[in-house]
Amino acid sequence: QVQLVESGGGVVQPGKSLRLSCAASGFRFSAYAMHWVRQAPGKGLEWVAAISDDGDYKYYGDSVKGRLTISRDNAKNTLYLQMNSLRAEDTAVYYCTRDPGGYPLAYFVYWGQGTLVTVPS
Amino acid sequence: EIVLTQSPGTLSLSPGERATLSCRASQSVSRNYLAWYQQKPGQAPRLLIFGASSRATGIPDRFSGWGSETDFTLTISRLEPEDFAVYFCQQYGRSPFTFGPGTKVDIK
């Protein structure tokens, strides 16, 4: 069965960096686009970034452009989110999600359990 | 950016009743690229509906979606105890892909 397991969250000071990882299993990782979606505590959902199956195409939400970078290693079946210049408003649970296709169609068929990133204000 | 508005904010119903949730977009959603998700406390969201009206794999047929352009609806025909949760709509017709603020369906 499809499994997405995020890791790398924690408490990080404003302005610092953090890298999230998502280990995928149960499907052919290299055939699907992947996304990060976040949810601030007690709030709604926000799409963060997307990457195509081969990693050639990347897309970002306006609030994270230039600070967060999505990448993938298809040999390791792993998705990443490099987070730089972190702000208090980046505090959220970050979910790794799988797209239905190889190019980002951008609805989210499978979700990981999420990893919490906390940036104190 | 397409802004999605969901109503009502909270829907208080009893098991067995019908739930009707609304999602309205600030602009027409291209190709009816509208999805619905269910989220329970402490859990990740679960995809229910994509393409405005197509049920995701394993979703019971008491869940149905319909609508077009700017007005979309999720209907739960007869609420089961496990259906009390928060429901989000999401458009994926245009980047950035945006979510509505959610409708909480709670037990009356």
With an 8 Å Cβ cutoff, is A107 touching chain B?
yes
Give the pLDDT mean for B7-13: 97
Chain A residues with CB-CB distance to B87 below 8 A? none
Q: Is the pLDDT of residue B8 over 90?
A: yes
Within 8 A of A59 by CB-CB distance, chain B residues are 95
pLDDT in tens, B57-89: 999 999 999 999 999 999 999 999 999 999 999
CB contact under 8 A, B97 and A100: no
pLDDT digits (tens, 9 = 90+) for A93-117: 999 999 998 888 889 999 999 999 9
List, for residues A59-83, the tens digit of each pLDDT value: 999 999 999 999 999 999 999 999 9
| A45·B90 Cβ contact <8 A | yes
Read off the pLDDT of each residue in A46-60 and give the average, rounded to a whole number.
96
**A5 in reach of chain B (CB within 8 A):** no
- Name the CA radius of gyration of chain A, rounded: 13
Is A12 an interface residue toward B (CB < 8 Å)? no
Task: Indicate the burial class of B49 (C-beta count within 10 angstroms; 0-12, 13-18, 19 or more).
Answer: buried
In chain A, whose CA is at the least distance from the CA of B104?
Answer: A44
Residue A101 confidence (pLDDT) = 87
Percent of chain A with pLDDT over 70: 100
Question: Cα separation of A37 and B7, whole Å?
Answer: 23
Residue whose token pair is 């037990």: B107
How large a percentage of chain B has pLDDT more than 70? 100
pLDDT confidence of B4, banded at 50, 70, 90? very high
Neighbours of A76 (CB within 10 A): 12
Whether residue A8 lies within 8 A of chain B, CB to CB, comes out as no
Query: CA-to-CA distance for A77 and A25, rounded, in angstroms?
Result: 7
Looking at residue A106, its pLDDT comes to 83
Q: How far apart are CA A12 and CA A64, in angstroms?
A: 17
Q: What is the pLDDT of residue A49?
A: 97
Q: What is the pLDDT of residue A56?
A: 95
Helix and strand numbers (H, E) in chain B are: 0, 11
> Over chain A, what is the mean pLDDT?
96
How much is the pLDDT for A102?
81
Q: Is the pLDDT of residue B51 over 90?
A: yes
Nearest to B44 among A46, A107, A114 (CB): A114
pLDDT band at A26 (very low <50, low <70, confident <90, very high): very high
Best residue of A6, A43, A45, A48 to probe chain B, by most B CBs closer than 10 Å = A45
Q: By a Cβ cutoff of 8 Å, what residues of chain B touch chain A? A: 1, 33, 35, 37, 44-47, 50, 56, 88, 90, 92, 95-102
